[in-house]
Amino acid sequence: MSYINDTISNDYSPWSTRSLYHNNNAMSELPEWLSLYINKPHIHDELVNHSGLEPIHWDALFNRLESLSSEDVSGRAIEISQLMQNGNVKHESSKECNFDPLPFMFSKSDWSLIVEGVKQRTQLLNQIQADIYGEQKLLIDGHINARKLYENSNYLREGFSLPNDELKLFFTAVDLYRTPSGEFKVLTDHCQCPLGLGLLLKSRIIARRVMAEEFADCSVLQIKEFLSSFQDAINEYSRYMDDPRVVILTQGIEDPNYNEHAFLSTYFGYTLVQSADLTVREGEVCLKSLQGLGKINVILRWLPDRNIDSLEQIDYSLHGIPGLLQAVREGNVKVLNPFGSGALSSPAIKCQLNKLSELLLQEPLLLSEPNYYDVEQAKTLDWKSLELLSHQDPQFKIDAAAQSEKVKDLINEQPDNYYFQDKAELSTAPFWIKGKLVAKPVIFRCYALTTEHGVEVLPSALCFSQQFSNDAGMAGWIKDTWIHTEKDTDISNAAFPTRLRMDVSLLEGVISSRTAEHLFWFGRYLERSESTVRILRIFIDKYTEAAIYSDPVRTSVVSRFVEAIRSQRIVYPYAENSAIVNESVDVSPKEMALQLLADKQCAGSIINTLEYLCNASKQIQELLSHDSRRMMDDINGQIQQLKNVTGFISTRNMQSLLDRIIGSIMAFNGSITDCMPNSNGWFLLEIGRRMERSIQINALSAALLTQEYEEAEELGVLEAVLSCQISLVTHKRRYRMHQSIGTGLELLLLDAEYPRSLLFQLEQIDDLCRHLPTKRRPGVISAHEKAILLSKTSCSITEKDYLQQSDEGQRQNLIEFCHNIRINLDTFCDVLLLQYFSHTQTAHKLNWTNIEQAQS
């Protein structure tokens, strides 16, 4: 394929590097969707104007893509967007993040320029960081305006009392754009918590899947090495430790970037923690885990440093960890990124970077800053290409020409607070939107890692079409970015440096007590959803049947169910008696069913339980496999359907909705069965599930089987109860000759071998509790074990006939039995909460000593 380069020969023109990606000889070879884009007028486009004299990097891509029709591309786009959505926590505030099916191609030459530039810049920033938190020569000599730096809230005085090593940059990012003349310039540095690495990884994984052939053909530079270096660098900090613990610190699920934190945690295998999971004891940072307090060696923080220590720092935050800085000062924990690096992005330093590079590195910046002007300088300039920024407020930015009156007012009022900069004229790149290519302005975020071996640059970038903001999370359009290499150089079997890496697999996973508690509740909600759906299915079945054949037995079964659901005795919160119900209001079975399905006012309704389930799943997101997360997505979708349910829904539709829900739950159960390492606390999910089932069986028996009726009616109720516990068939087979309430109770409560019996659940719980770290002296049984033992014993020694006995229509023995079991189960849960999950205690700020009055 050959191209004619539309290069303007005039060397003085800033546009001299422009070329036109343009297939002249064989226009027909380019697919229509592509030639349409190329032939459109562009201001300055990456593909059309900046692809260089020999755009082999784009060729490599389009050679592959030329056979695709626009329908093919759209198909890919849809596939990608589905893959992107999987397992993500949805934030109502944040916009969707769209991932483009066309990767961005960097030529080898452009990329090597960027790599050099990013390396140089990172070195420069490191030197500045060392100076402003050390000798301060740059401030004394006036290269950096001291006042402006002091005023910046990211310049942290605490940095001065920390060891020098603690302030070195680790993982940074820089946002670049291309000017019309073809050079790359810098928009922003991200030295604190560089966002987007998780997104980049995720998009790379998807791109490799959807565009496997193109990927191979373009010989794209791999990012694996960089990620290994990243982990090696972290391991380096814990080199001398037997059992190093590395955690990723996130604000929690309310953080718009939580998905990314969870993704990185899964990817690197580091425990994801929130501030409340950590505590500082005697100068060491500890994780509150099920096993007790465990020392932490490295914290990858994704929290701002201004208020990360609520004891030492003046800026107070709920997410602060009191005493953290003291632990850092003592050298007991390494926090990455280091403190105080946010100041590097302050205008006081940013505006001087070009000069500082000349001063410190004796060379100009390869990736220069846009031109900055103070208010005085700007007065003589044309404001058309300028925008006004604030020294104080990093979010502030207004167009100087468009709002010139406002600008004049502002700079007259406080000339020192503002400065001007050249507006960035971003280049555009093609994005696939609604079936065609659209030019959108792009920014490239490049990542750098600083280790003792120097600076390493991630050989890819996050190419995005909209400024990210920390508040709104990742939104807008992104592309995977491919660095094209020539085949032969790539395949050279350069010997990989052997790395000494610990066999991390030998180390047990640690989870915080918070996560442990979420696992327990997750198990309970899982079981609760399942059983509530089953009850509702049986109930709907019964009342539709009764409507057709309305004999007294069927009618009575339905009314007992209505009663039991309405009084919340067989659904959450499993009330022990029905005194609270207002008898005067008559509820039809269908209304009852609807309430239980989709009424938010009804505590135990399916919609509420599923929402609890989804919330709990977000909290343990990083422990779930990709497939399990997809099942949770399905359940999320069903919640949305439930929200739209109205009173006009047909019974048939209700039934099929319930079938789908139970299908998702069963699929989810299947997806986790074989991947639950108990060391990660998964047994707690199982305890939760068994516990909920125990409560459920007990509640069903107590609510529906304690009253004596005519035999036919009794058997009708029993049949329904057994159906709810999927035990009807077993019961029929086992008690072929004679069936009674007694046989039903034997199967449901007393049979230690039957997997759905109460006793069986209790045995399982007892067994699972062995995984809990013991907190007692040998020879003494702890309170939760006692509660289970009591229940187990009473199940084991009770006879079915004893339970069946009735007195004046009431089975007093059964009532008592169920009541005692319930008390013991509640005790078990309380003790578990108190002994193992009691991380919830919150800290109070001690009143500061007031300065007392002096005598005048």
Partner 1 sequence: MKYKIKHSTTYQYSDFVTLCQNQARLTPKTSRGQICHNSRIEIVPHANYLQQFTDYFNNNVTVFEISTQYKTLNVTVTSEVELLVTANNDIDNLDMSWTEVRDLLAAPNTKELLRTSEFILPSTLTPIETGIKEYALVSFKPEETLISACKGLMARIFHDFKYDPGFSTISTPLSVVFAQKRGVCQDFAHFALACLRSIGVAGRYVSGYIETLPPEGEEKLEGADATHAWFSVFLPGCGWVDFDPTNNVLPSEQHITLAVGRDFSDVSPLKGVVFGGGNSLLDVAVDMVRLE
DSSP state of 392: S
Choices 136-144, 200-208, 514-522, 563-571; region in contact with partner 1 by CB under 8 A: 136-144
- 393 makes contact with partner 1 (CB under 8 A): no
In the complex, minimum distance from the CB of residue 148 to partner 1, in angstroms, rounded to a whole number:
10
Cβ closer to partner 1: 122 or 326?
326
- Pick from 151, 183, 217, 627 the residue near partner 1 by CB under 8 A: 151
Nearer to partner 1, 777 or 845 (CB): 845
Provide the mask over 329-368, with x wherever binding to partner 1 is found by CB under 8 A and - wherever it is not: xx--------------------------------------
- Among 154, 257, 266, 326, indicate the residue that binds partner 1 (CB under 8 A): 326
| 413 contributes a contact to partner 1 by CB under 8 A | no
Pull the structure tokens for residue 442: 């792009």
Q: What distance in Å separates the CA atoms of residue 602 and residue 22, rounded to the nearest whole number?
A: 64
**Count of positions on this chain that bind partner 1 (CB under 8 A):** 42
**How far, in Å, CA of 475 to CA of 676, rounded?**
33
Q: Using CA of residue 826, residue 828, residue 834, residue 836, what is the dihedral sign?
A: negative
Question: CA torsion 340→343→344→349, rounded to 10°?
Answer: -150
Q: Report in angstroms how near the CB of residue 155 gets to partner 1 at its nearest.
A: 10
User: Which member of 209, 281, 732, 776 binds partner 1 (CB under 8 A)?
Assistant: 281
CB of 135 to partner 1, least distance (A): 9
Residue 100 phi, psi (nearest 5): -80, 140
Among 13, 14, 90, 160, binds partner 1 (CB under 8 A): 160
List residues bridging with 462 in a β-sheet: 445, 480
DSSP 572: T
Q: Is residue 280 near partner 1 by the rule CB under 8 A?
A: yes
Interface with partner 1, residue 646, by CB under 8 A: no
Which of 141, 471, 753, 807 is the binder for partner 1 (CB under 8 A)?
141
Interacting residue with partner 1 among 150, 415, 659, 712 (CB under 8 A): 150
Cα radius of gyration rounded to whole Å, the chain: 33
User: Dihedral of CA 663/664/669/670: which sign?
Assistant: positive
Residues 181 and 16: their CA atoms lie apart, in Å, by 7
Separation between Cα atoms, residue 837 and residue 513, nearest integer Å: 5
- Residue from 29, 71, 116, 282 binding partner 1 (CB under 8 A): 282
Exposed/middle/buried for residue 1 (C-beta within 10 Å: 0-12, 13-18, 19+)? middle
Q: Is 396 in the site for partner 1 (CB under 8 A)?
A: no
Least separation in angstroms between residue 306's CB and partner 1 is: 13
- Which is nearer to partner 1, 584 or 842 (by Cβ)? 842
Residue 379 binds to partner 1 (criterion: CB under 8 A): no
Answer for which of 67, 395, 505, 841 binds partner 1 (CB under 8 A) is 841
Residues 178, 838: Cα–Cα separation, whole Å: 53
Residue 809 main-chain phi, psi, to 5 deg: 80, 0
For position 775 contacting partner 1 by CB under 8 A, the verdict is no
Q: Which is nearer to partner 1, 86 or 332 (CB)?
A: 332
Neighbour count for residue 342 (Cβ, 10 Å): 22
**Which CB, 644 or 855, lies closer to partner 1?**
855
Beta carbon nearer to partner 1, 498 or 841: 841
Does residue 597 contact residue 605 with C-beta atoms inside 8 Å?
yes
Binding of partner 1 by 165 (CB under 8 A): no
Please name the residue ranges forming H helices in 749-809. Answer: 758-768, 783-797, 800-804
Question: Does the protein bind partner 1 through residue 166 (CB under 8 A)?
Answer: no
User: In this structure, how many other beta carbons lie within 10 angstroms of the beta carbon of residue 145?
Assistant: 17
**Exactly one of 45, 131, 158, 305 binds partner 1 (CB under 8 A); which one?**
158
| Of 31, 269, 283, 509, the one binding partner 1 by CB under 8 A | 283
Residue 628 engages partner 1 in binding (rule: CB under 8 A): no
> Measured from the CB of residue 153, what is the shortest distance to partner 1 in angstroms?
11
In the complex, least distance from residue 351 CB atom to partner 1, rounded to whole angstroms: 17
**248 vs 278 by CB, closer to partner 1:** 278
- Examine residue 13 and tell whether it contacts partner 1 (CB under 8 A): no
Q: Is 549 in the site for partner 1 (CB under 8 A)?
A: no
Contacting range for partner 1; rule: CB under 8 A; set: 140-148, 253-261, 577-585, 600-608 = 140-148
**Which among 314, 317, 322 has a CA at the least distance from the CA of 304?**
317
CB of 273 to partner 1, least distance (A): 18
**Spatial separation of the C-alpha atoms in residues 619 and 460, rounded to whole Å:** 31
Helix (H) or strand (E) holding 819: helix 812-836
SS3 380: coil
| Distance set, CA 298 to CA 147, 220, 453 (Å) | 34, 33, 20
How, if at all, do strands 284-289 and 184-190 pair? unpaired
For residue 140, state whether it binds partner 1 (rule: CB under 8 A). Answer: yes
712 binds partner 1 (CB under 8 A): no
| Terminal C-alpha separation, the chain | 93
Give 139 or 424: the residue with its C-beta nearer to partner 1: 139
Q: How far is the CB of 370 from partner 1 (least distance, A)?
A: 26
Nearest to 754 by CA among 697, 700, 699: 697
Q: Tokens for 269?
A: 């295998």
| 314 is a contact residue toward partner 1 (CB under 8 A) | yes
Q: Are strands 104-106 and 476-483 parallel, antiparallel or unpaired?
A: parallel
Q: What is the smallest separation between the CB atom of 408 and partner 1, expressed in angstroms? A: 23
Question: Taking the CA of residue 385 as centre, how many other CA atoms within 13 Å lie in the half-sphere pointing to its CB?
Answer: 12
Q: What distance in Å separates the CA atoms of residue 554 and residue 246, rounded to the nearest whole number?
A: 61
CA distance 175 to 189: 6
Least distance CB 330 / partner 1 (angstroms): 7
Confirm or reject binding of residue 395 to partner 1 (CB under 8 A). Answer: no
Minimum CB distance to partner 1 smaller for 648 or for 848? 848
Instruction: List residues binding partner 1 (CB under 8 A).
Output: 136, 139-142, 146-147, 150-151, 157-158, 160-161, 280-283, 310-312, 314, 322-323, 326, 329-330, 841-856
